[in-house]
Amino acid sequence: MPEKLLRRDDKASATNGVGTAHTNRDGEKMRAPSRLPSRRNVQSSCSRQQLSPQCSVNVDGHSTVPSMDAHDNNIAKVRGKPATKRCAKEPRAKENAVVHAPDHSNDLKLQEADDAIRRLNELGLGEDISPDEYMGYFKKLPRNPVVNPYLKLDSEQMIPLYIRHARYRIRYYKLLQRASSVRQHCAVDLLQKEDFSDEFLREMGYFVKFEKDGTFDWSFHPDLCKIRDLDDYQRLVPHDSGDFGTYADWDKYHRTFHSYETELEYLSYCSELSEKLKWMEDCVLIEAPSVKWGKISTRGAFQAMKIATTFSKITPSLADTAYYECVRNMRWNALWLKNMVELYFEIWLFVTKQKKNFRFAIEEVYKSNKVPIMVFKLQNALEYNCSEMEMEMEFHTYTENVTSGVTEDEAHSLIAEAVEKLVERPKFYQHYIRKKIDIAQSIGLIPVVGTRKYYDGGRASPCLRILGL
């Protein structure tokens, strides 16, 4: 299938054929969905892509050179070799041989998957898009722009870039100081002077230390600064922080050299996907890999590709990323977010309605097993004081706005709102872009007008609040 839509756990959807490897018009290796007719021998789908170090790469790091099939390389070695003759007569079965009944489990799984799709059609959920229609949508999408990472700036060309970046750093540092979020780090009072000479900036090492010492949570990535064909927005990289990282796939995100206009449109695309694929929310916990999930995911992926055609800058790889991260977000919400809400709501019932202390509440919720997926969290809280204290702090945070006298339904809604807003959750490419745009606006790299609506709840960062945005 074009790009990587329907990958990994969707391979089980191959029921009437085997998904085969293809090469798209950009030379990228792509996995065909199992519902698409096979176009090449199944053996060739196992070949590996050969990437030449001299070739250019597109914005997602893929080679623009078509892959070479190892199977094709060996055809000449076996061509012309006579096939081994089969025995004309099959050996006679032994009289006492055990004859096993045919396994109909695959037929049952296929029937279950077909029934699920039929119910979705009857309810008008999703769209029934054929493989041919899907391919038509795919062909309408724009190609990935190509960036040659081997074309570098020379030392003389780097000097104005260093000076320009130093002024951006000073601007951001001043905003942080005004927001009182950092202390004075350098001997020069940057707030008292509007401009500095190029010579002074060189003497101060272009203030790169602000990016290296943790003052900033972003940087102009030194490797990207050397690439000639990138602009400053593309060189800007939000940092990945924490023990497990802030972003789900930071290594990929910071190497996708999309323009500001493309990334802004990607946010709009993600917003539309999350709205039009809501029908998948009740499906995302279906066992994967499985035939049933494969067919449902195929349906969603085909619809995502159709939606992508309504945007002028969304490439197949961006459609792929948006779809799979949308599904991952839905799965996280269904698996963790809803259960977190139920956990703290049940505790709230004991603490507020029955006037019990916190430990009694978590013991009762643990015994009742009303939120099975949170058993490990409750068990840790009951066994370790630090875990109990942490959980009690979370409880007070999530129930802070639940006032006395509210109904249970109102309390549940308020807890859900707080959990969704405050709980730590995976951050995907759209979150990375929001952070990047926020920084870029703060330092004057891109305009502010017209982008505020793409931020979560319209909340501005401390830097943008200083600017009155």
Q: What is the pLDDT along the chain (469 residues), one digit of tens a residue?
A: 444 454 444 444 433 333 333 344 344 433 434 333 333 333 333 333 322 333 344 444 443 333 333 444 443 333 344 444 344 444 444 445 555 556 667 889 999 999 999 999 999 999 999 999 999 999 999 998 889 999 999 999 999 999 999 999 999 999 988 876 555 555 466 666 667 899 999 999 999 999 999 899 999 999 999 999 999 999 999 999 866 678 999 999 999 999 999 999 999 999 999 999 999 999 999 988 999 999 999 999 999 999 999 999 999 999 999 999 999 999 999 999 999 999 999 999 999 989 999 999 999 999 999 999 999 999 999 999 999 999 999 999 999 999 988 999 999 999 999 999 998 888 999 999 999 999 999 999 998 865 544 444 444 455 554 444 4
- Residue ranges per domain, the chain? 155-257+428-466, 335-422
pLDDT score at 426: 87
pLDDT score at 307: 98
pLDDT score at 32: 36
Cβ-contact 109, 291 below 8 angstroms: yes
Cβ-contact 211, 218 below 8 angstroms: yes
Residue linked to tokens 């330092």: 443
Read off the DSSP letter of residue 268: H
pLDDT score at 358: 95
pLDDT score at 196: 85
Beta bridge partners of 21: 31
pTM higher than 0.85: no
Read off the DSSP letter of residue 129: -
User: Which residues in 115-153 are b (16+ Cβ under 10 Å) and which e?
Assistant: ebbeebeeeeebbebebeebbebbeebeebeebebeeeb
CA dihedral in degrees (126, 130, 135, 138; nearest 10)? -10
Query: Measured between alpha carbons, how far is 144 from 67 in angstroms, rounded to an integer?
Result: 17
Read off the DSSP letter of residue 290: S
Query: Measured between alpha carbons, how far is 343 from 351 in angstroms, rounded to an integer?
Result: 13
For 295, list phi and psi in degrees, rounded to 5: -70, -40
